């Protein structure tokens, strides 16, 4: 009974982990098809929520011959809220330094969703989610196979 419960727990954990990773990998793959261009920062700042903050830039760019403005954020994992921004000086210093990297008037590399040019993200570092998701899936399948063989196959 315990063996079966352990296997069910491992399968459930695997499904949860892959359920988080696969959509992120798909989003990243789609964004790689988006147009990349230099925009001009109109306003750089932080979006605040209680003690948390995340970077936000108002940018201007030309899309298909039409001048546009849009809010630009960082891509995952950096787009998440920086918790403890208002409570921890070290977090505040790092986040403020990232805002200062692109002050108003400077050029900023962005990627624009061709289907919705109001969806704009800062071009920056991205973890190779497709490779990470694939490797994680292989490891989890290997763990499940090893668990099944240890628990349910007769010993010689």
pLDDT at 39: 95
Low-confidence residues of the chain, pLDDT below 50?
77-78
pLDDT at 58: 95
pLDDT at 10: 74
Q: Which of 106, 130, 99 is nearest to 30 (CA)?
A: 130
pLDDT at 155: 65
pLDDT digits (tens, 9 = 90+) for 85-129: 777 778 788 878 888 888 999 999 998 999 999 989 887 655 565
pTM of structure: 0.62
Task: Tell me if 40 sits within 8 A of 110, measured CB to CB.
Answer: no
CA 7 to chain centre: 30
End-to-end Cα distance, the chain: 22
Q: Which two tokens stand for residue 64?
A: 């298909």
pLDDT at 124: 66
Task: Tell me if 111 sits within 8 A of 39, measured CB to CB.
Answer: no
**CATH fit for domain 31-122, picks 3.40.50, 2.40.160, 2.40.50, 2.30.30:** 2.40.50
DSSP string, 54-123: EEEEEEEEEETTEEEEEEEEPPTTTTS-BTTTTT-HHHHHHHHHHHHTS-TTSEEEEEEETTEEEEEEE-
């Amino acid at each position: 009974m315990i063996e079966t419960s352990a296997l069910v727990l491992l399968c459930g954990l695997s499904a949860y982990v892959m359920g988080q990773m696969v959509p992120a990998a798909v989003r990243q793959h789609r964004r790689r098809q988006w147009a990349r261009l230099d925009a001009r920062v109109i306003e750089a700042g932080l979006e605040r929520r209680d003690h948390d903050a995340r970077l936000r830039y108002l940018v201007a760019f030309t899309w298909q011959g039409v001048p546009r403005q849009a809010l630009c954020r960082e891509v995952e994992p950096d787009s998440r809220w920086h918790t403890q921004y208002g409570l921890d000086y070290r977090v505040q210093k790092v986040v403020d330094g990232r805002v200062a990297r692109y002050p108003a008037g400077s050029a900023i590399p962005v990627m624009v969703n061709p289907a919705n040019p109001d969806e704009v993200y800062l071009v920056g570092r991205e973890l190779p989610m497709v490779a990470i998701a694939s490797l994680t899936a292989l490891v989890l399948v290997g763990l499940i196979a090893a668990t099944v063989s240890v628990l349910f196959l007769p010993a010689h």
